[in-house]
Structure 1
Amino acid sequence: MPAWTDGAPFWALFAFFFAVVLVRTQATYWLARLAAAWSAGEGPARRGRPRWVLRAGGWLQRASAGRGVRAVQRWGLLAVPASFLATGTKTAVNGAAGLLRMPFGRYTAAMVVGCLLHATIYATVGWAAWTAALSAATGSPWGAVALALLAALVVVVVVRRLPRRRSGVR
């Protein structure tokens, strides 16, 4: 096992996880806010919009975005830090905050609380679970087989989700 995984200092892990989630949630908020503004006609004409804006606009129509919007409408600012405590809700709620144009100062204050929660959980319990699983998997032949099967499963899922290309269409 690499030396950096053993006895990693808490504050280094905390800072890493905090920075990652801070950048990710700010990006989600701003992308959703920009896509919402452009879909409302506040940006360049549809032809002049980058493809990612159109894709983000498509995301805004999905069920997860609707659940995020309903959570923010129901719980307001409290939905933002609470989203960091449940798997799969950060993107929906932080995107909904951008979509609903939650004021940036209030959003950021609530988001920082959520980032602190997230970093604390991942730097303690999450890191311990990860290192224990990695140690168990690499310490036995069956663990190596399980890792290989997991990697194969991930590849199969990713390949099956890729958009099907029609012959001759690019």
Structure 2
Amino acid sequence: MLLAPTVSAAADDAGRHGVFTLEGFPFWAVYVIAFCIVMARAQATYWLGRGVARGMGGTRVAHLLASPRAVQVVDRIHRWGPPAVTVSFLTVGVQTIVNLAAGYLRMPFPRYLVALFVGCLLWAAIWTTVGTAVVYGAILLFLLHPAALAAAAVLAAGAVAWLLHRRRHRSRRAEPAPHAAGVATEQH
């Protein structure tokens, strides 16, 4: 079988270098690189937010910050400040808007930097351990059973779609209908 040497070579490589390495780089080097990448990316997003606040009013970024979802995040930043920046690094898909909002709201840079530093430490730890293990697991699953990897990807996408649908449905039920809101105010 053609895949047998590839699978055994992948297993030998993982055994020789360890799961939390990339092509023989030690864990600490991968961690430091991941930390530097996320630190640079998050700061660039923060400074982009500061630029938007300075007067780039008609751009796509300014329109993004005017969206209802972004307004909610901005309110949370006002309320929670730097801890929101740190916690955003434990989520998927929220950290960019939080860093952008922190810049847009002109969060003082020293406070932001402390929160960012802790968040980047956490992010690098998560992605250089769990993230690397998931990537290696997906590669090994692809080499052994490509159909199983495709099925797992479809199931994961379906679960995400279902969760998003449920969330939207719940938020629609929570909002009062325009007619019902008008009737309620007329009765008072």
TM-score scaled to structure 1, two decimals?
Answer: 0.70
Counterpart of 1:124 in structure 2 is 129
Counterpart of 1:114 in structure 2 is 119
2:32 maps to 1:27: no
Q: Distance in 1 between matches of 2:30 and 2:147?
A: 29
Consecutive unaligned residues of structure 1, counting only runs of 5 or more, are 41-52, 154-170
Counterpart of 2:84 in structure 1 is 79
Residue identity matched to 1:23: A
Pairwise CA distance, 1:118: 0.3
2:153 maps to 1:136: no
Consecutive unaligned residues of structure 2, counting only runs of 5 or more, are 1-5, 158-188
Q: Distance in 2 between matches of 1:64 and 1:93?
A: 11
Cα distance per residue 1:13-42 (max 9 Å; x no partner)? 2112112211111111011110111147xx
Q: Distance in 2 between matches of 1:66 and 1:130?
A: 34
Counterpart of 2:104 in structure 1 is 99
Q: Distance in 2 between matches of 1:11 and 1:67?
A: 37
Larger radius of gyration: 2
**Range with greater deviation from structure 2 (133-142 or 110-119):** 133-142
2:95 maps to 1:90: yes
Instruction: Choose the corresponding residue for 2:73, options 62, 65, 68.
Output: 68
TM-score scaled to structure 2, two decimals?
Answer: 0.64
Q: Percent identity?
A: 43
The size of the alignment, in residue pairs, is 136
CA RMSD of aligned residues (A): 2.5
Q: Show structure 1 runs of 4+ deviating over 3 A.
A: none
